[in-house]
A and B are shown apart, each in its own frame.
Chain A
Amino acid sequence: MFELQRQHPAAALANAFDIIRANFITILILVFVGSGGREANFTLYWIIGAFLFLLIWGVISWYRFEFSVEEGELRIEQGVFVRKKLYLTSDRIQVIDISAGVVQRLFGLVAVEVKTAGSSSKEAKISAITRVKAEKLKTLLRKKTEKTEESQEAEPIAQRKVYALDTRDLLIAASTSGRFGVALSVVGVAFSQVEQLISEEQIIHFVEKVIPQSTNATMIAMSIFAVIAIAWLFSFAGTIIKYYDFVVEVREDELLISRGLFERTQLTIPFNRIQAVQIKEELLRQPLGYASLVIESAGYGESEGNSTTLFPLLAKPQIYTFVDEVIPDYNTEISEKNDVPSVALRRYLFRMLWISLPVILVVWSTIPYGVYSWFLLIPALLLGYQQYRDAEIARGEDTLILAFRLLSKTTAMVKKYRMQSCQVQQNPFQKRLSLANLTVHVASGNQGRAFTVRDIDISKAMDYRAWLANGKGGGSYISHEDNSEPANETFDDQDANQ
């Protein structure tokens, strides 16, 4: 048992860094934008002052944070001004993550995050304790949940499969990272701030001296190229840092994922918390024949929009063997497959047209050489056509498979009994062509996640919806009503009380 105790004092530092990291973008913007025109010293004082304040805050919050394990419960008392007591019973706990950030590594410590469905994960974070204590805490809190589940499968840990991402794949993953777009926008913003740092004369001077033959057009082309190159470097580095030494371990009833270069993160995902699996074929990876696997799990964390990367890079032929070995439930035989009807093609094309037209018009009217933005129409329409080709809906025994593309192609596999709700939507234009959108919601993190296939045949959509409604939980609790009729038409209240 753990008596009431404080964390390791290094938690004070870790807390301060946590706050900085959580607000990193804000701080960056404040420093970039706020410092314009004022003296550099002034900014420096502000930064030092703020850091000192955060440090003091970290010490106080360390002092006010106490935790213990009693009666199979993790009890945390915390809060500087408002005292909060958080009691987490071990059988409510779904995920226990042990990670080590830069600060923790410096002192040879780890952070423990305990996650339950619903409660915000930040509250149950012990930011610095020794690894021995962390492991002890984990076994203490895990014991009870395992006991209940072991009654069903009392098998000892027979085989442990481990999958690791090798260096070559890591490099491919990094150079084709989907986070490229995000990096691009950040670098774009930073680039627009360059003006404030360097005066215009300096730029002109630089241009005249270094590239005397340059015209306006080459200038624009070069700066676009520079932005793209820098963004690519950022996303390359970011992916390496994130997925370095990526290892998935398949255990008896859970998956253990560990990854990270500076900050080792360990995630434990019990199989019965998995809500959906996505195969993502990113724009840059698809031509090379690679994809990544993402799983949605309930009550798990806030990072990456509540989904977790199960494996960052897999060659396409490998995907199904991987799925078969790691999450065999999701390797189902497809019994029915439906494409988008060909009348829907025009909707896919027009949608891209409506999206790209305003951009083109704005660029055309504001930027020199903006006329060329009309060429954007070509990739936009091609994308629309590809979206039409990729959209597909299929079903196996108890699995619904939705394939759709925004930029990257996503194939989502959802167990019938994991579906939280299902929507069929039809607007007047779709009505004329008798098309509709089908959306399926699954639980993921604190909110849900929605998967939509656009413009499928309305009768097919309603058919799938009725099929989903008939989900009897994949056989885990088959009851007397083994009904094959579409539920939305027949049942009424009298039938309900048989």
Chain B
Amino acid sequence: MRSSPKNKLSHDAIKAWRVSLSIFISFLVLGLFFLWGYKLLSPEAGFFSTWTLIAISVILIVITGLGIFFIPEIRWRRWFYEVDEHEVDLQSGIFIITRTLVPIKRVQHVDTRQGPILRSYNLADVTISTAATTHRIPALNEEVADQVRDQISKFARLAEEDV
């Protein structure tokens, strides 16, 4: 698509996404260990056959590899945003590229959010809500996030509201 919005997310986003994905995957791995343990201790009683378990393990390894080493990088590279006095313009997506436009007039509230992982990298999400939808600019630098939030709310106050 032509002329992407010009701002990028913080480069630390990649690390933060890797960490949060690793945590999620480690739960899956834990579950898998239980299944394997169960299988090895009582071979005939297991819920899955050995081959199913092997297949699940392989799939999990592939997903882990893709998810941790490639996807955060690509996701970061494909994420752009831009805020001006008329609109918020977002572009994201790895396979399906989504270009979102939110007129500033329609913004009902903006906030920044920060979980423990994002905080450890000094990152924050900016969430933009309208009467119909909610949009998120993920993993910006804390200062940038605050700035974006204040900017949007300033522009939104300037533009008159009727809904």
Contact = CB atoms under 8 A, between A and B. Distances in A.
Interface of A: 117, 272, 275, 298, 417-428, 431, 436, 441-444, 447-450, 458, 462, 465, 468-471, 473, 476-477, 481, 487-489, 491-493, 495-496
B131 A471 contact: no
A64 B23 CA distance: 48
A419 B103 CA distance: 8
A426 B84 contact: no
Contacts of A441: 130, 132-133
A131 to B, nearest CB: 33
Given A298-B163, A424-B1, A487-B86, A442 B132 contact: yes
Contact of A469 (B93, B95, B103, B130): B103
A447 B130 CA distance: 10
A275 B98 CA distance: 24
A422 B115 CA distance: 28
B149 interface: no
Contact of B102 (A272, A298, A421, A473): A421
21 contacts: A272-B162, A298-B163, A419-B106, A420-B106, A421-B106, A421-B130, A421-B133, A422-B100, A424-B99, A425-B96, A426-B97, A444-B132, A448-B133, A450-B132, A458-B1, A462-B1, A469-B101, A469-B103, A473-B105, A488-B89, A492-B84
Contact of A298 (B89, B103, B131): B131
Given A420-B102, A496-B155, A491 B133 contact: no
B85 interface: yes
A169 to B, nearest CB: 33
B82 to A, nearest CB: 8
A487 B85 CA distance: 10
Contact of A420 (B1, B95, B130): B130
Contact of B131 (A425, A448, A473): A448
B86 A465 contact: no
A484 B87 CA distance: 15
Contacts of B1: 424, 426, 436, 458, 462
Which secondary structure dominates chain A's binding surface?
mixed
Contacts of A418: 163
A357 to B, nearest CB: 22
Given A424-B1, A489-B3, A492-B84, A465 B132 contact: no
A481 B1 CA distance: 26
Nearest to A421: B102
B87 A487 contact: yes
Nearest to A272: B162
A492 B101 CA distance: 15
Interface in B77-96: 84-87, 89, 93, 95-96
Given A421-B130, A448-B131, A449-B132, A495 B84 contact: yes
A471 B162 CA distance: 14
Contacts of A469: 86-87, 101, 103
A483 to B, nearest CB: 9
A449 B160 CA distance: 23
A498 B2 CA distance: 27
Given A420-B106, A469-B103, A476 B132 contact: no
Given A477-B160, A487-B87, A496-B85, A468 B3 contact: no
Contacts of B102: 420-422
Contact of A425 (B97, B135, B160): B97
